Amino acid sequence: MDETGPAPAQPLPYEGVWRFTAPAVDASVPQARHAVRDLLRRQRVPVSEEVAHGLLVIVSELVTNAVRHAAVLSPVLAVEVAVGPVWVRVSVEDDHPYRPTALEADHGRTGGRGLLLVREISVEAGGACDVAHTASGGKVIWAALPLSPH
């Protein structure tokens, strides 16, 4: 009788975690979006077109927020992409301690709806998003989406 239990399943070829840093400047927004798009293609992640589009909007919104609101205290931001067998998670981390709570729309304002958009895209796809503090005192904002919408 084998006491070791079942062998662990091998990860799928597209599974993994990738992390890169970028300066907290406007040019990093399209660069981050293109880097994530290229990563999904290079790894042949079987993500639906709809989810991929939503994911790239989320990356743009999160990096834009880090550039606009955290650059003073965080000149560098980190983008992480984690791909599992049936989901993809993107996160943007910065060293600014402020934890945004703007998840409800203020219809009287013309801006400030980025996190609301991130939440709506996440929920619509059957995913989730949240903000968490980091050990270094900053924050990470993440969104996880299924590879195929439900």
| Number of continuous H segments (helices) and E segments (strands) in the chain | 3, 5
- The domain limits of the chain are 16-146
Determine the average pLDDT of the residues in 7-26. 89
Determine the average pLDDT of the residues in 42-67. 96
| Residue 25: pLDDT over 90 | yes
Q: What is the pLDDT of residues 67-113, one digit of tens each?
A: 998 988 999 999 999 999 999 999 999 999 887 765 444 455 445 57
Cβ-proximal residues to 145 (8 Å cutoff; 6+ apart), any chain: 51, 54, 55, 58, 87, 88, 89, 121, 122, 125, 126, 127
As assigned by CATH, the class of the 16-146 domain is alpha beta
| Residue 3: pLDDT over 70 | no
Rg (CA), the chain: 17
Confidence label for 8 from pLDDT (cuts 50, 70 and 90): low
Q: What is the pLDDT of residues 112-145, one digit of tens each?
A: 578 899 999 999 999 999 999 999 899 999 999 9
| Residue 6: pLDDT over 70 | no
How much is the pLDDT for 62? Answer: 96
Confidence label for 149 from pLDDT (cuts 50, 70 and 90): confident
Give me the sign of the Cα torsion angle 34, 25, 64, 133: positive
